A and B are shown apart, each in its own frame.
Chain A
Amino acid sequence: MRRLLEKYAPSKEHMLDMLHDLQQDEPRNYLTRDALRAVAEYVNISLSEVVSTATFYSMYSLAPRGRHIIRICESPPCQLVGAESLIDLLAQHLGIAVGETTDDGAFTLETTSCLGVCGVAPAMMIDEELVGNLTPARIVDAIEAVRRRDATG
C-alpha cells in the first residue's frame, strides 16, 4: 500500500487518485479499513476526513464488492431505448438486486448515470470494458464470457 501511495506527494490534493489506486489493487474492488487508514497516515489527516471524501463519490465502495463490477446506465437516452427492463433482466440473470453481489463473489450490479456512449444505448460497463447496443441476449453473452474467462483463469 505504501508503495502505491508513494507515487504521489503526501498531500490531500492527490487523495482521489490514491483512493482509485488502492481500490483497484484490492481484488474485491473496495477500500478496506486498512487502506483508508494508510491514506490518512500518509497524508497526515484524520481517518474521518478520508472516509468523508471516499463516501461522497459513487466510484468508491467501503464494502467488499464482486471481482467484477457491472455498471448499467439508467439515464434518459438509455432508458428511452429500453434500459429499464434490461436492468431487471440483468438482476434476474445474476439472481441479485441492484447494489448486491452474487454469492460466488463474481459480480456486483450497480446502476450508473450517463456513460457518455449514448450512440450505442442502452449501454453498460463490465469493469473497464464497454458493452453497448444491449439486448437480452447480448447481456447474457457478456456475463457468460466473463465467467468463462474467469474459469480458464
Chain B
Amino acid sequence: MRLARGHVLIGINDEALLAGARDIEAALREALHAHGLADEIEVIETGDLGAAGQGVVLSVYPDGVQYAGVGVEDVDEIVTEHLLKGRPVERLRLAARPIAPTGLTGKQPRIVLENCGVIDPESLEEAIASGAYEAMAKVIESGVLPADIVDVVKQSGLRGRGGAGFPTGLKWSFTAPGDRKYIVCNADEGEPGTFKDRLILEGDPHRLIEGMMLAGYAVSASAGYLYIRGEYQLSIDRMQTAIDAAREAGLLGEGIFGSDFTFDLEIKKGAGAYVCGEETSLIESIEGKRGYPRIKPPYPGAVGLWGKPTVVNNVETLANVPPIVLHGAQWYRGFGTEDCPGTKVYTILGHVENPGLIEVEMGTALRVIIDEYGGGVRGGKRFKGALIGGAAGAFVDEASLDVAMDFEGLKDYAAVLGSGAILVFDETVSMVDVLHGILHFFRHESCGQCAPCRLGTAQLVETIDRIASGAGSVEDLGLLRDIATMMRNTSLCPLGQSPILPIETVLGCFGDEFTERLTDGATAPSSRQGRN
C-alpha cells in the first residue's frame, strides 16, 4: 500500500455496481485530481462494507467516516468539504454503523470480517500486509505438528458455522487415516436470506485460502476443493484471482514455506441446486454426478470425495481458523460464550431500517441485533416476529427477543441459529403467506431421491395452498405437522428433515393467524404487495 494521508474505500459489490459505483469512483478520482489531492488521498476498491440496501458506500480513513447512498453529484462536496477542509458531510453519513464497534466483552469483535471492506481483495500484497498467511508461516517455522492444530481448534471451541454447529476440531479429529485426503470448502450458500459467505469470498479471499491450507495441514490433506454456487460469479472470479496469485507467489503448491507440506486447491462451480449445500450431495456434485445426498454413515471423514477421507467445512468456519491458530485458543475464548466462543456473522433483513451484514459476539441478544445493528423495525412499526436461520430455520415472536443468539441459547426457544439469516417481520406481515413461500421453496428444491421428501414436500404445498386460499380446515393444520414429522423421521438428508421446524414454530407463535385464515380467508392481511 502506497503511503498516503488518507484513504477512501469504495465498496464494490453487485449492489454498488448497480448503484453506479464505477461512475462514482471515476468522479472521485477526477475531483481529487482537480483539487490537487490525487497524491495525498488514495482511492481503494474493496469488498462489501457491510451495509446492504444503502447503494454506494464509502469509508474515509483515518477518520472512519462512512457515507451511504452516495451519488455522482455528491462527490464534489465530499472532496471539497471533507477531504480538503476536514468537515464530514453530515447529510450523507451512514445512520448506524453496520459493523459493531464493541461487543459483549467491550472488545472489537471483528474476527472473520476483519479485512472485509478494508483491503483490496484482488491484491495479495494488501492481504499479506493485513496478516494473511502469517498463521501458516508461524506453524511451519515453529514446527507446530498437525495434531497441535487440531488441538488448538478443539480447545478454541470453534463450531461449524454452516448451520449445524458441530465442533470443528472434533470433526477434523474424526478424519480417517489414508494416503490421500481432501479438504472441501462448502461455499454453496443457498439458504434464503443468507449471503455472509459471499462477503467473505469477495472481501477477503486469502483468509479462506489460508483457512483451507491450515485445515489441510491439520489432517494431512494436500488437495482442496472450493465449491461455490454457480450464481456467485463475482465470488468465483475473485477467488480464482486470489488462488492464482497465491500459487504464483509459491504460497500454494509444493514445499510451502520451505517445508515438505504440499497443498493446492481448485474451484468447483455449482449449477443451481440447494440440496448441494448438504455435504454428501456437494461431494457427489464435485464428482460430476447428480447432487444426491449419500446415506450416512459412513461420514465424509471416513469415506468422502472419491471414497477418500474428506473434511467438509463452511466458509465462515474456515475463515475463523487462521486467527485461532495465530492468537491461540484462549484468545478466541475471550469472545462469545462458554459453549459457543467467537463471533457470528449475520445477515439481517426484512423490515429493519438498516438491512445488512453484521459480525457480533456469540450470545448477543436478538433484541440488540435488531435494534442496535438493524436500526429497529422499519418505519416505526411494531415488531411481530422473525425467521432465524433461513427457510430451514425457526420463527420466533416478541417473547423471544431477549434470547442470547448462539447454538445453545436458541435451543431454549426450540429454535436454531442455522445459517445466520435473520428475517424480521413487522405487524403487517401475514405469517400464512410466509410459510406458503417457504413450503413452495422446499418443494422446488427437493432433489427427488427419497420418497418421503419428494412426496412430502408436494403434500405440504397442497395443504398450505388450501389454507392460504381460505379453503382449509382445522385438520389441515394437523396435517402439516403430521407430514413434516413423517419427513423428519424418514428423509435421507437434512432437506426433508427441515420443514418441521418452521411449521412447528410458526404454528406455535402465530397459530391464531392460521385459524383465522381458515374461517375468514378473504379478509386476511396479505404481505404480497409491491413496494411503493
Q: How many residues of A contact B (CB 8 A)?
A: 48
A130 touching B271, Cβ below 8 Å = no
Which of B37-45, B316-324, B437-445, B476-484 forms contacts with chain A?
A: B437-445
The count of chain B contact residues (Cβ–Cβ below 8 Å) is 60
A115 nearest CB neighbor, chain B only: B231
In the complex, B530 has a CB within 8 A of chain A: yes
Are A80's CB and B233's CB within 8 A?
A: no
Contact of B441 among A81, A113, A132 (CB under 8 A): A113
The interface residues of chain B lying within 8 Å CB-to-CB of A77 are 192-193, 349-350, 421, 423
B69-89 interface (Cβ within 8 A of A): none
- Is B95 in contact with chain A by the CB < 8 A criterion? no
Chain A neighbourhood of B437, CB < 8 A? 74-76, 79, 84
A122/B531 contact (C-beta < 8 A), A16-B269, A52-B290 known = yes
Instruction: Identify the closest chain A residue to B528 (Cβ).
Output: A84
Q: Are A85 and B529 in contact (CB under 8 A)?
A: yes
Q: Name, among A58, A119, A128, the residue most crowded by chain B CB atoms within 10 Å (CB to CB).
A: A119
Partner of B288, one of A53, A89, A120: A53
Q: Are A76 and B287 in contact (CB under 8 A)?
A: no
By the criterion CB–CB under 8 Å, are A60 and B192 in contact?
A: no
Query: For the complex, is A12 an interface residue (Cβ under 8 Å from B)?
Result: yes
User: Which of chain A's residues have a CB closer than 8 A to the CB of B391?
Assistant: 75-76
Residues on the B chain within 8 Å of A122, using CB: 531
- Within B441-459, which residues are at the interface with A (CB < 8 Å)? 441, 444-445, 447
Chain B residues 517-532 with CB under 8 Å of chain A are 527-531
Which residues on the B side are within 8 Å of A76 (C-beta)?
192-193, 387, 391, 423, 434, 437-438, 441
* A119-B231 CB under 8 A given contacts A80-B527, A113-B441: no
**Distance of A15 Cα from B287 Cα, bound (Å):** 8
Q: Would you give the shortest CB distance from A145 to chain B, in whole angstroms?
A: 13
Q: Which residues of B contact A53 (CB under 8 A)?
A: 288-290
* Contact yes or no, B192 A117, CB < 8 A: no
A76 and B18 CA atoms in complex are apart in Å by: 22
User: Do A120 and B18 have beta carbons less than 8 Å apart?
Assistant: yes
Interface residues of A in 1-49 (CB under 8 A from B): 11-17, 19-20
Question: Across the interface, which residues of B come within 8 angstroms of A113, CB to CB?
Answer: 190, 192, 274, 441, 444-445
Q: Which A residues fall within an 8 A CB radius of B?
A: 11-17, 19-20, 52-53, 56-60, 74-77, 79-82, 84-86, 89, 112-122, 125, 128, 130-136
11 A-B pairs whose Cβ atoms sit less than 8 Å apart in the complex:
A12-B289, A17-B268, A59-B272, A79-B527, A79-B528, A80-B527, A85-B530, A89-B530, A116-B194, A119-B195, A120-B53
Q: Which residues of B contact A (CB under 8 A)?
A: 14-15, 17-18, 52-54, 189-195, 198, 229-233, 268-274, 285-291, 347, 349-351, 355-356, 387, 391, 421, 423, 425, 429, 433-434, 437-438, 440-441, 444-445, 447, 527-531
